[in-house]
Amino acid sequence: MSEGQKFQLGTVGALSLSVVSSVSIVICNKALISTLGFTFATTLTSWHLLVTFCSLHVALCLKLFEHKPFDARAVMGFGILNGISIGLLNLSLGFNSVGFYQMTKLAIIPCTVLLETLFFRKQFSRNIQLTLTILLMGVGIATVTDLQLNVMGSVLSLLAVLTTCVAQIMTNTIQKKFKVSSTQLLYQSCPYQALTLFIVGPFLDGLLTNKNVFAFKYTPQVLFFIVLSCLISVSVNFSTFLVIGKTSPVTYQVLGHLKTCLVLAFGYVLLRDPFSWRNILGILVAVVGMVLYSYCCTLESQQKQIEVPVKLPEVKESETDPLISVENGTGILADVAVPKVPVWNSNKDLDA
């Protein structure tokens, strides 16, 4: 098997793992939050990250991967920034309507494109821009219901978008700059993310829900779903870093919107959530956008291989990371993949 085939197989595996684990944790979190009333999303996320770190530490002891220390300040800054972005997304939902929160999530792709263009001189062709526009329109039709604005909520949403974009771009650039795998980066950044959320989580959850996480009645059923959610989160967090490392932050966001559509569909089929023709139309448009995005990226990747057989120094990077890539690449959590909403709603996606 050639290197290109191995890379594509690894990319397909990473994308599949991300979709399956994310949809699974959404279903689990819906039962935990909506049915059992455990609405402490930020605190739950800190537990997710703690369990992820412990799992990776066990894997390290079993020599399943190699520990590779690198710039401690970069790791600390990256971990804290990820934790802050999760807290800001939760605050954004708390101070805004569901519709405006969904618009906040949709804004992450264009913001990521803008930041990568300005600071990394990355080029996005008109075809890529058009397919992303179709995708965002579809997800918007399917999920955005109302747009109630307020100053505090708007500021929080802006900060949430910026921190999320920067964190996801850093996930990709750190892996390539320091030549570390997704597992190595996740293992070293997890403690900082978990600590940040463990400190601010109870405060944010109390502010958003008017409840105390430590006063909640932990029944055996609640504990079972918390443990199940934490175990699934290991796969979610790992696959997030893996996907961004193997593709790009923009491709990861495209995949995230695919998961949103799948959550809506599963909610209707399995849980009988309310569903309308608008939801169906939006999902269909979004899927068309995703297919076109992957096709255009693949086409541009093939053209680049034909036109530039030898890699030249300081050549501008272009967006050629499709959902399934055919190009050799390097590199092996949210939205660290984390629950970003304190209250479940069928029209929004709890990212693990």
User: Could you tell me if 308 and 286 are in contact, meaning their C-beta atoms sit under 8 angstroms apart?
Assistant: no
Quote the CA–CA distance of 189 and 185 in Å, as a whole number. Answer: 6
Query: Measured at the alpha carbon of residue 278, what is the angle toward residues 158 and 282, in degrees to the nearest 5?
Result: 60
User: Could you tell me if 337 and 240 are in contact, meaning their C-beta atoms sit under 8 angstroms apart?
Assistant: yes
Which residue shows structure tokens 């291989």? 305
**Please, which residues bridge with residue 318 across strands?**
123
Q: What is the DSSP code (8-state) at residue 213?
A: G
User: Could you tell me if 251 and 243 are in contact, meaning their C-beta atoms sit under 8 angstroms apart?
Assistant: yes
Quote the CA–CA distance of 190 and 196 in Å, as a whole number. Answer: 10
- Output the tens digit of pLDDT for each of the chain's 352 residues: 566 666 666 677 777 888 888 888 888 888 898 888 899 999 999 999 999 999 999 999 998 889 999 899 999 999 999 999 988 988 888 887 777 777 788 888 899 999 999 988 888 888 889 998 998 898 888 777 666 667 888 898 999 999 999 999 999 899 999 999 888 999 999 999 999 999 999 999 998 889 999 999 999 999 999 999 999 999 988 888 888 777 778 887 887 777 777 777 766 666 566 667 787 888 888 888 888 888 888 888 778 777 655 554 554 444 444 444 433 333 333 333 334 444 444 334 444 3
**Please, which residues bridge with residue 213 across strands?**
none
pTM: 0.74
* pLDDT computed for residue 331 by the predictor: 36
User: Could you tell me if 159 and 88 are in contact, meaning their C-beta atoms sit under 8 angstroms apart?
Assistant: yes
* pLDDT computed for residue 303 by the predictor: 80
Quote the CA–CA distance of 340 and 156 in Å, as a whole number. Answer: 14
Quote the CA–CA distance of 338 and 237 in Å, as a whole number. Answer: 8
* pLDDT computed for residue 229 by the predictor: 94
Residue 107 structure tokens: 């804004």
Nearest to 252 by CA among 334, 141, 131: 334
3-state per-residue secondary structure call for 142-165: HHCCCCCCCHHHHHHHHHHHHHHH
Quote the CA–CA distance of 331 and 243 in Å, as a whole number. Answer: 10
